[in-house]
């Protein structure tokens, strides 16, 4: 509810109050910006393993088919046991890594599960990422995170090798945390609106009850209103 101030304000005070109201109103009424790629912070642990970082997804969900309701992942950064994560593994190149064929993962994220088997990452397929230790020509590792398709849901990390003739190991995750990151534009709009609303009462208190001046102590110790010049 907006209160109507009946006191006559000096020009400077009027402009300040109106400016604060304008800032708050404009920020609140400004339409949200066009949807951008969505970002998520992640972390997971397993025996002897600790990984964390951030990934982004498209803002448009897959409409139909086997991955309906999921969001294609676009980028991934972070660290695994102190080793830099360099990005998502392209499914088209997955066959280069032992025991990871092109259908072994899909890099689709499910922020809202459609069933117990589709929470965050789907069963068997899941996502795969590379690190600075991943090199298809000289050897390295890639990591595949997927749901085990159980209820309650559990997750595993599979480690793929190049050019080894064997795959594995498979590590059961002991924790997995994924948190949405607020869009910077949305935060800016909220902060700007809050600033406008915050400034208004402060300006009113500074001007005093009649809108012209604050209070001060006179020589005799009594309190009097300090009037502004007409």
| Cβ partners under 8 Å of residue 21, min gap 6 | 196, 200
Percentage, residues of the chain above pLDDT 70: 53
Residue 206 scores a pLDDT above 70: no
CA 67 and chain centroid, separation: 23
DSSP string for residues in 156-179: EEEEEEES-S----EEE-SEEEEE
Lowest mean per-residue pLDDT among 7-11, 13-17, 62-66, 139-143: 7-11
- Give per-residue pLDDT as tens, 106-134: 899 999 876 656 789 988 789 999 898 87
Tokens found for residue 63: 């409409």
How far is residue 55's CA from residue 89's CA, in Å, rounded to a whole number?
A: 13
149-160 mean pLDDT: 85
142-158 mean pLDDT: 87
Tokens found for residue 219: 């020589």
> What pLDDT sits at residue 173?
96
Map out the domains of the chain as residue ranges: 11-33+183-225, 38-181
């Amino acid at each position: 509810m907006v209160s109507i101030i009946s006191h006559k304000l000096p020009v400077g005070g009027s402009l300040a109050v109106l400016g604060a109201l304008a800032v708050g109103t404009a920020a609140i009424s400004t339409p949200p910006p066009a949807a951008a790629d969505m970002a998520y912070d992640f972390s997971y642990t397993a025996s002897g393993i600790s990984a964390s970082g951030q990934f982004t997804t498209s803002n448009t969900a897959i409409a139909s088919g086997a991955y309906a309701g999921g969001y294609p992942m676009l980028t991934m950064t972070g660290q695994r046991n102190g080793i830099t994560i360099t990005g998502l593994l392209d499914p088209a190149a997955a066959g280069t890594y032992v025991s990871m064929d092109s259908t072994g993962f899909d890099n689709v994220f499910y922020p809202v599960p459609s069933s117990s088997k589709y929470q965050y990452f789907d069963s068997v397929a899941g996502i795969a990422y590379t690190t600075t230790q991943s090199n298809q020509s000289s050897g390295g590792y890639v990591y595949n995170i997927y749901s085990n398709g159980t209820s309650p849901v559990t997750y595993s990390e599979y480690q793929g090798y190049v050019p080894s003739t064997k795959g594995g190991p498979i590590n059961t995750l002991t924790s997995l945390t994924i948190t949405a990151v607020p869009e910077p534009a949305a935060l800016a709009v909220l902060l700007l609106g809050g600033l406008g609303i915050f400034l208004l009462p402060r300006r009113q208190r500074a001007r005093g009850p009649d809108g012209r001046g604050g209070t001060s102590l006179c020589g005799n110790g009594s309190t009097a209103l300090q009037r502004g010049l007409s």
